[in-house]
């Protein structure tokens, strides 16, 4: 892509005034990142990983608008994101900046930290330095958005679980975007560090309201220590005019478990990357995803599970429901490295096409370099089962209801795997509302 498109970002970077509270190593990282971004530019569809997704509309828009001076959101908007039954700690962000007035500071177990990244960078940089920018990769043209996020890295969330800590209530991270038309960009950075044997559920929820465009470019880094277990839920309910790009990279130690549940319901263009790197034996990765799109929405899901060590397992299920003129993409890569004997990997991608103009590109990939493995993948594309639809209608259910009923049933295979009950309930409510509305939801 052309130089011109990166220019506004380079200029804004030059004008950036780093906060005095920040550690100096961060400046070096930002400098390196902007250099990479300048070199790569926005990813082009000529890159295999961006083959089906053009980000021209992002590249040619100017998302330089300053966010409103006063936070335009209320606690009601936070409740929309997480539901009424959510009783854990909530960190809320408005257009990418931490909003304490919207956050809920529930007590956390001894030693557990969940605070804004800006606070953590100022207060405990030593906890952050070993991980930040080292889990996510931003050294290839495919990762240009991660480089861009890193270049402007400032705020977001930091969650730390000390050895053996168990946090029962989920921790909520709520990102709200745009209430009036200044076309802002929000680039939150989330760092989750789970020490050995710890356990928690973390929910990232993105919501917004239109009708103007804004861009969310989020990066999440997760370090899962030995025997630790992290359930990560991402609920993407951006407004129908938003652009949403996000990348999650988990790094797993021995016998750890990482589960990602990526629910994608909104945005004009959404691109989700979810990657798990299994760096030690005995670890398990579960990547689940549900994407619903209609009208002219474009939603692209990329996942990669890298089995680098033996005796690890992964299960992956992504489901898509596409209506209107929506375009869905699933690209799931499973890599089994030469040392990763006894890997067990299962991957499935099932898609429903609900209209004449909807389309899907599914690309499940296996790259196997070890011989003692059991790996499989499957992909299906089709319409709802006509005979089941007929059965429901013959029992007196209307055609519209029957379709919704079947779509909910299709989606529930993904949502019911979410462990935390209040989170699962809210996800189900939003999926149901999304399917009934036939368009992205917006916060009121």
Partner 1 sequence: MSRTSSALERLANREYEYGFVTDIESDSVPPGLSEDVIRTISKKKNEPDWLLAWRLKAYRHWLTLADAEPTWANVHYDPIDYQKIVYYSAPRPKKKLESLDEVDPELLATYEKLGISLAEQKRLTGVAVDAVFDSVSVATTFKKELEKHGIIFCAFSEAVQRHPELVRSYLGSVVPYADNFFATLNSAVFSDGSFVYIPKGVRCPMELSTYFRINAENTGQFERTLIVADEGSYVSYLEGCTAPMRDENQLHAAVVELVALGDAEIKYSTVQNWYPGDEEGRGGIYNFVTKRGKCAGARSKISWTQVETGSAITWKYPSCILLGDGSIGAFYSVALTARRQQADTGTKMYHIGKNTKSTIISKGISAGHGQNSYRGLVRINKGAAGARNYSQCDSLLLGDRCGAHTFPYLEVMNPSATVEHEATTSKIGEDQLFYCRQRGISEEDAISMIVNGFCKEVLRELPMEFAVEAQNLLGVSLEGSVG
Residues that bind partner 1 (CB under 8 A): 48, 338, 341, 351, 353-383
Least distance (Å) from partner 1 to the CB of residue 140? 15
Looking at the chain, the number of H-run helices and the number of E-run strands are 10, 20
Cβ proximity to partner 1: between 366 and 417 the closer is 366
Distances (CA, A) of 300 to 7, 303, 394: 26, 10, 37
- Return the sign of the alpha-carbon dihedral for residues 71, 72, 76, 77: negative
| Three-state secondary structure call for residue 274 | strand
Least distance (Å) from partner 1 to the CB of residue 352? 8
Least distance (Å) from partner 1 to the CB of residue 388? 15
Least distance (Å) from partner 1 to the CB of residue 362? 4
Provide the angle, in degrees to the nearest 10, between the axes of the packed helices 24-40 and 3-15.
160
Least distance (Å) from partner 1 to the CB of residue 4? 23
Quick one: which H or E segment has residue 122?
helix 117-123
| Three-state secondary structure call for residue 28 | helix
How crowded is residue 168: how many other Cβ atoms within 10 Å of its Cβ? 11
Cβ proximity to partner 1: between 207 and 292 the closer is 292
Least distance (Å) from partner 1 to the CB of residue 425? 31
Cα angle 244, 247, 251 (rounded to 5 degrees) comes to: 160
Q: Are 191 and 149 in contact (CB under 8 A)?
A: no
Least distance (Å) from partner 1 to the CB of residue 227? 29
Cβ proximity to partner 1: between 317 and 353 the closer is 353
Cβ proximity to partner 1: between 44 and 341 the closer is 341
Cβ proximity to partner 1: between 56 and 369 the closer is 369
Least distance (Å) from partner 1 to the CB of residue 332? 11
Whose tokens are 């400032």? That residue is 154
Q: Is 325 left (phi over 0), alpha (psi -120 to 50) or beta?
A: alpha
Cβ proximity to partner 1: between 355 and 398 the closer is 355
Contacts of 125 (CB under 8 A, 6+ apart): 22, 23, 25, 26
Q: Are 95 and 177 in contact (CB under 8 A)?
A: yes
Cβ proximity to partner 1: between 29 and 334 the closer is 334
Q: What is the DSSP string of 323-360?
A: -TT-EEEEEEEEEE-TT-TTEEEEEEEEEEE-STT-EE
Cβ proximity to partner 1: between 75 and 369 the closer is 369
Q: Are 10 and 147 in contact (CB under 8 A)?
A: no
Cβ proximity to partner 1: between 82 and 373 the closer is 373
Least distance (Å) from partner 1 to the CB of residue 322? 9
Cβ proximity to partner 1: between 87 and 377 the closer is 377
Strands 373-382, 97-98: parallel, antiparallel or unpaired by DSSP?
Answer: unpaired
Least distance (Å) from partner 1 to the CB of residue 329? 10
Q: Are 407 and 376 in contact (CB under 8 A)?
A: no
Nearest to 100 by CA among 140, 124, 126, 73: 73
Least distance (Å) from partner 1 to the CB of residue 379? 4
Cβ proximity to partner 1: between 31 and 372 the closer is 372
- The partner residues of 252 in beta bridges, in order of sequence, read 224, 278
């Amino acid at each position: 892509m052309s130089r011109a498109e990166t220019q506004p970002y380079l200029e804004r970077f030059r004008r950036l005034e780093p906060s005095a509270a920040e550690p100096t190593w961060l400046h070096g990282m930002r400098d390196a990142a902007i250099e990479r971004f300048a070199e790569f530019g926005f990813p082009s569809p000529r890159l295999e990983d961006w083959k089906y997704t053009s980000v021209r509309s992002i590249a040619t828009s100017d998302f330089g608008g300053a966010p409103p001076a006063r936070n335009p959101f209320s606690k009601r908007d936070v409740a929309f994101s997480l539901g009424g039954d959510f009783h854990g700690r909530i960190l809320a962000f408005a257009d990418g900046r931490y909003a304490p007035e919207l956050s809920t500071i529930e007590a956390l177990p001894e030693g557990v930290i969940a605070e804004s990244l800006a606070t953590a960078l100022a207060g405990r940089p030593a906890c952050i330095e070993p991980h930040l920018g080292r889990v996510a990769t931003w050294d290839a043209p495919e990762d240009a958005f991660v480089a861009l996020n890193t270049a402007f890295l400032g705020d977001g969330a930091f969650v730390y679980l000390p050895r053996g800590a168990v946090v029962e209530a989920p921790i909520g991270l709520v990102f709200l975007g745009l209430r009036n038309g200044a076309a802002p960009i929000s680039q939150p950075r989330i760092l989750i560090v789970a020490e050995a044997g710890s356990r928690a559920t973390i929910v990232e929820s993105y919501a917004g309201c239109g009708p103007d465009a804004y861009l969310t470019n989020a990066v999440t880094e997760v370090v899962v220590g030995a025997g630790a277990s992290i359930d990560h839920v991402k609920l993407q309910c951006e407004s129908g005019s938003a652009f949403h790009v996000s990348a999650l990279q988990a790094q797993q130690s021995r016998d750890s478990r990482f589960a990602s549940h990526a629910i994608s319901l909104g945005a004009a263009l959404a691109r989700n990357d979810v990657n798990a790197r299994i760096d030690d034996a005995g670890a398990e990765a579960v990547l689940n995803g549900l994407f619903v799109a209609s009208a002219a929405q474009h939603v692209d899901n990329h996942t990669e599970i890298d089995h680098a060590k033996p005796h690890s397992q992964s299960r992956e299920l992504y489901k898509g429901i596409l209506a209107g003129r929506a375009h869905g993409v699933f690209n799931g890569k499973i890599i089994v490295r030469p040392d990763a004997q006894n890997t067990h990997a299962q991957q499935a991608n099932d898609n429903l096409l609900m209209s004449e103009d909807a389309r899907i590109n599914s690309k499940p990939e296996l790259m196997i370099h070890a011989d003692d493995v059991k790996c499989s993948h499957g992909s299906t594309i089709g319409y709802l089962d006509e005979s089941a639809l007929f059965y429901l209608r013959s029992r007196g259910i209307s055609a519209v209801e029957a379709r919704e009923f079947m779509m909910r049933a299709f989606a529930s295979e993904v949502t019911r795997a979410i462990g935390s009950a209040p989170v699962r309930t809210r996800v189900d409510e939003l999926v149901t509302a999304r399917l009934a509305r036939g368009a992205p939801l917006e916060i009121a």
